Amino acid sequence: MRQALTLHGNTALLTRANPLAKFAAVVSITAVLALSIDWVSATTALLGEFALFGLAGLTLRLLWQRGWPLILAAALGGWSTTILAADSGRTLLDTGIWSISEGSLELGLGFMLRGLAIALPAILLMSCTDPTDLADALAQKARLPHRFVLGTLAAMRLVGLMAEEWQTIGMARRARGIGSHGSPLQRLRATLGQSFGLLVQAVRRASRLAVTMEARGFGGAQRSWARESTFSRMDLWVVLGGMLIAAASLAAAVAAGTWNLVFA
């Protein structure tokens, strides 16, 4: 889990681009897709994103490992839209309780593809971006306050630690005779108790970490940066690439007549 959060070993081209450029590309794609629920723009964006896999050092296997909750959520969202949306066009399946029609199927499919196309750039970004480099770029280039950025970065390390801690606390509670089985109510109580234990540990660790950071001089107004965050020509291409995918999705959907503004 903690190893999975680092990029150790990934030498793909996009790891060398500035995180801020990659972030801008992701934002432009997401912005277009957020505007319309239709399967044409989502499919176009997805195709463009798949083409970037090699450049980001991402494989389908890694994608599933890192993004399965998002992928499942997109599939689930698509399915529920399909069966619950108002029917239009020919009815394909009717169980009495719910039904699938051509119109609802198209909407559901669009919903799922859109979910995937929005989730994928974020996964792409994280798979070729070291969090430390992202923090450097956000503080040095985007001029976000360095206390906030570095504080968040240090806290992220604790998240990985907490995943291990969760497992340990679960075992420690079983060793006290408090199992996580039984009726749903008992399970809920067990989970709440375990969460409380984790919370206590998280607060303790966080306060110790804060002391460590303060003792290393953190929190002053002036600060230098050991790693300079720089832009290169590649970053221009990255931003242009993101805008290209966004523009192509928009154009394809308008041309196919499926463009469908969510708030229109």
Interface segment toward other proteins; rule CB under 8 A; list 13-21, 71-79, 89-97, 205-213 = 205-213
Residue 177, C-beta contacts closer than 8 angstroms, at least 6 positions apart: none
What tokens were used for 49?
């994103």
Q: Taking CB under 8 A as the rule, does residue 195 contact other proteins?
A: no
Q: Taking CB under 8 A as the rule, does residue 130 contact other proteins?
A: yes
Angle at the Cα of 61 from the Cα atoms of 56 and 66, rounded to 5 degrees: 75
CB-nearer residue toward other proteins: 97 or 175? 175
Question: What is the nearest approach in angstroms of other proteins to the Cβ of residue 132?
Answer: 6
Question: What is the nearest approach in angstroms of other proteins to the Cβ of residue 212?
Answer: 6
Q: Taking CB under 8 A as the rule, does residue 197 contact other proteins?
A: yes
What three-state secondary structure class fits 27? helix
With DSSP H G I counted as helix, E B as strand and the rest as coil, what are the percentages for the chain, rounded to 5?
A: 70, 5, 25
Question: What is the nearest approach in angstroms of other proteins to the Cβ of residue 33?
Answer: 29
What tokens were used for 103?
């119109």
Angle at the Cα of 246 from the Cα atoms of 242 and 247, rounded to 5 degrees: 115
CB-nearer residue toward other proteins: 119 or 135? 135
Instruction: Single out the residue of 66, 141, 173, 189 in contact with other proteins (rule: CB under 8 A).
Output: 173
Residue type, 188: L
CB-nearer residue toward other proteins: 103 or 197? 197
Interface segment toward other proteins; rule CB under 8 A; list 78-86, 95-103, 118-126, 150-158 = 150-158
Long-range contacts of 1-7 (CB under 8 A, 24+ apart): 1/160, 1/163, 1/164, 2/160, 2/161, 2/163, 2/164, 4/65, 4/66, 5/131, 5/156, 5/160, 6/130, 7/127, 7/128, 7/129, 7/130
CB-nearer residue toward other proteins: 91 or 187? 187
Q: Give the footprint of other proteins on this chain (CB under 8 A).
A: 2-3, 5-6, 8, 65, 130-132, 153-154, 157, 160-161, 167-169, 171-179, 181, 193, 197, 200-201, 204-205, 208-209, 211-220, 222-228
